[in-house]
Every structure is written in structure tokens, then in C-alpha cells.
Structure 1
Amino acid sequence: MGPTPGQAPGSDDEGPTVAPPDRVTAERRRRRPTKSGVVLSAEMILDKALELLDEHGAEALTIRRLGAALGADPSAVYRYYRGADDLLLALGDRLIGEALDAFRPDDHEDWADALREFGRCAYRAALHHPRVAVLSTHRVTRRPHEQRAVETGIGLLRRAGFDDATAVRHYHAFIDTVLGHAALDAAVLRLPAGQRAGDAQAWSEAYAELPAEDFPHLHAVRAHLPTMAGPAVEHVMDLLLTALRAQVPG
């Protein structure tokens, strides 16, 4: 279950989920052991939050449950994150960091090839943690990995020769399309195996059996319909990059 507008996942049983900024900033510097003797860190909290989210879904991402899983009082988590929404944004930024770690821009002399690989890395990182992807790909993390990713993507388009305003528009269109497909495919991965198999089978059975007199076009392409069961992100990137190449100035 995703967050409702203005509400973070799991925030319904948290009480106040926002700590004053000055409190968070000051206490992040103070690393105290938990009641079990473990010294918390921002990365340790993210690791446990990711584990809970991957295993149990968004309803598990509450500060109370996270504190219990860490063997710490929930107030200890607030020293590092202002609440469940702040934690979710940090998780989203971690996914972006994974994408950047996998991206090798120097392997591609052509800007479009580099942008394609950039999109692939973003897509794969999102699918690595589909529950996080569904909740975070539509958010703005305001954090270092996202900032570096936007710098990288816009930089590739400026390198191609697009002016500043056009580079921003094209990057927006490209990355939102890739992340939109990532969120869609992540949602598919979250379906029970039986439902996924049934949806995939429908293209080769239910649709292939439609009568030609009522559905002439579907009948004509029935042998190709099973490809509808797979991801479309590669084909979409092909279309976008072909269009972008055609618009390069000069």
C-alpha cells in the first residue's frame, strides 16, 4: 500500500513524524548505543528499513517497528531521520546511488549510448528493490545521489549540443519515462506468482482466440502479442533516443 497524499507510509501510528530540523542536525552527530549495546548510524538504519520494506511492504515502514527491529527506542531513529517520509526519501536516494555506482560513462563515447546505459542502470536499480521503487520513484529526494544523477543526465544532453532549457526538458522526459516503466514493472513483480503467470498467459491464449471478424487487427498480429507480457523499457528508450538524435542542433 502506498502513501496517501501528505502522509508517509506507516505514519498513522507514529504520532508526530517530523522533528525540528535543528534537533535532527545536532543529534545526528551524537552516536549513542541502543539498549542492546549497538551504536546506530544512518546507514545501519537504512539497511534495516530496506530489509523491512523488502520483506513486509510499506506497512512495515514505521519508526516504531524500525526501532524495535534495531533494538532501539524509536526516539533514537529520530536523531537521524525526521520521520517515515524522510526515511523513504533516503531509501529512494540509495536506489539512485546504486544506479550511479553501476553506471560507467567513460565506456560510451556517444552521448546517446551513455544516456541509454544511464537509463538502464536507473531501471535495474529500481527493480532490485521493487517495493521501494513503487514508493519512491515519483518523489524528489533532494539528496546527494539524486543531485549527482540529475547533473549527469543533463550533462550528457548538454554535451550533445542542446541548449540549457532544452536539455532540462529532454532529461525530464527521458528519466520520468524510464522511472515510470520501472515503477510499473516493479508493481508487476509485487503480484503473486500465479497472477503474473495468468496475466502473461492471457496474451497468448485469451487474446489469440479473439475472432477475426470482431478484432481483425488483433487477429492479424496474434503471433506477436505474447511480447506484450515483457518489459517495454528498452523499446521506449530506443524511440526516445531516436527522436532526441533527430533534434540535436546542427
Structure 2
Amino acid sequence: MAKQVVPEAARQRRRPTKQGTVLSEQLIMETALRMLREHGSDGLTVRRLGAALGADPSTLYRYFRSVDELTLAIGDELIGRAMHGWQPGGDWRADLRTLGARIHAAYLAHPQAAVLTASRVTGRAHEIAADEAILGVLRTAGFPDEAAVRVYQAFIDQSLAFAILDAATLALPEAARSADEGVWRATYAQLPADTHPHIAATAGLLVARMNRSAYPTALEMLLDSAAASLARG
């Protein structure tokens, strides 16, 4: 049976934890983000989280029914951080470009959490506000509803997909990440033109580009496609 979740206003402890802090959803999420950064997803357990907060693990169920619900809350928190302070400027391409960069950066600031949450649908307040904002940008720009939804889906899925891809790279151990980055120079740049003419011809460009995220390029291509669709509309 699911545990009853107490409303936020009624959850405040009347006395501090062993570490002298008062529990709240925000404090639990901040601590969980730190644990993910330090220990990865395997390190996020109710027992470890309770120990980090100086609280009995059972107390955490007053705030979140399960670790999965906490995971969804963390995902929504990252979206909220991406949207914080953003306001549409009236140029739909510039607005979406800025939003995409914000979403990507917010997830990459917490790569372990990004890998864990970017594929989830939270249905929480920040996610809903982001969806409303993106659809508002597109509909205000003149996209018909069907086209607005199509572009919205491509935009948000692309942003989150690159967030997962790039965050997974950042979450690798330093030695593994350095080894992967070195392959372009140590292997691809050394391939002979007689057997691999196209790689050899572009080797310098590959070395310069392939260890950078392709997200800005992919986002610009998506915006180009959406603009062409709007012009045909």
C-alpha cells in the first residue's frame, strides 16, 4: 500500500535533524542531487539519503512515496532551473534557441541526474510550465496547432536526447572520457587515404569537432526546418 504523503506545509519537523536542519522537499532534492553527483544513481537510496540528512530514512516517506517519485521531482527541479528567469522576447527562433541552450545546460550541470531523469515525464509544475511556454512561443509565431505540436515534440525530445548523450559522457570516469576523446586523434586521424579517403580528407575537422556537443548544430537545423515549414504554411 502506498504511503500517505503529507502536504508540504504540514511536513515541517518540529525539531531539527541530528545535523540541526529542518527537512523540506527542496532540501531533500538538493541533497539527492549532491549524492548523485558524488556516487551516481546506484548511490541514491533512502538509507543513504537519510544518513546524509541526519534523519531516520522512514521520515523521507512523508515527503516522497518512493525513490522513483523523488527521481521525478529531481527531473522537474532541473527543468525549473532551466526556465528560471526566462521570458519570451517575441522572436520565436531566438526564444527556442535560448530555451534549448538553457535546458541543455541545466541537465549538464548535473550529469548523473540528467541520465537518470531526462527520459522521464514528470507531470509536475515546472515541466507543465515549460511545455506551455514552448507551445505558446510556437502558436504565437503563427504555427498551426498540428505543426506547433510536431515542432514542440521534436524540439523537446532533441533537447533531452542531447542532454542524456552529453551528460552520459560527462558522467564517465575521467580516464574513460579522456580515452574516448583521444580516439579521434590517435585512430581516425591516422587512417590512410588509400583505404579511408573520406575520413582522411576530413580528419582535421573531425578532430576539431567530434569532442564537442552537436546540440547547437542540431538545434539550428531543427529551427531551419521549422522556419521553412512556417513559410510554406
Structure 2 residue 63 is the aligned partner of structure 1 residue 80: yes
How far 1:102 moved relative to its partner?
4.9
Q: Which residue of 2 aligns with 1:93?
A: 76
Out of 137, 140, 158, the position equivalent to 2:118 is 137
State which of 18, 28, 32 in structure 2 corresponds to 1:45.
Answer: 28
Structure number with higher helix proportion: 2
Preserved contact between residue 46 and residue 60 of structure 2 (Cα < 8 Å):
yes
State the AA in 2 paired with 1:46.
Answer: M
Relative to the length of structure 2, the TM-score reads: 0.92
Determine the C-alpha separation between the residues in 2 that align with 1:245 and 1:131: 34
Matched pairs, number: 229
Which residue in 1 is equivalent to 2:50? 67
Match of 1:31?
A: 12
Is contact 1:102–1:121 with CA below 8 Å preserved after alignment?
no
- Segment of structure 1 superposing worse, 156-165 or 142-151: 156-165
Q: Distance in 2 between the 1:104 and 1:155 partners?
A: 12
- TM-score scaled by structure 1? 0.86
Assess if the C-alpha contact under 8 Å between 1:34 and 1:72 holds in 2.
no
* Aligned equivalent of 2:225: 243
Supply the distance in 2 between the matched residues of 1:39 and 1:220 (Cα, whole angstroms).
Answer: 61
From 187, 200, 206, the equivalent of 2:181 is: 200
Aligned to 2:143: 162
Alignment gaps of 5+ in structure 1? 1-17
Structure 1's consecutive aligned runs of 4 or more residues displaced over 6 angstroms after TM superposition are none
Distance of 1:26 and 1:102 partners within structure 2: 27
Distance 1:194 1:175 in 2: 32
Deviation, 1:26, is 5.2
> C-alpha displacement at 1:197, in angstroms?
2.1
Match of 2:196 among 202, 209, 215: 215
Q: What RMSD, in angstroms, separates the aligned Cα atoms of the two structures?
A: 1.7
CA distance in 2, matches of 1:180, 1:26: 33
| Structure 1 stretch displaced more, 196-205 or 149-158 | 196-205
CA contact (8 A) 1:111 1:156 kept: yes
Distance in 2 (alpha carbons) for counterparts of 1:181 and 1:136 = 13
Partner SS state of residue 222, structure 1: helix
Deviations 1:187-235 (A, max 9, x none): 1111222222222222123111112121111111112111111110000
Q: Distance in 2 between matches of 1:221 and 1:39?
A: 58
Conservation of the 8 A alpha-carbon contact between 2:138 and 2:148: yes
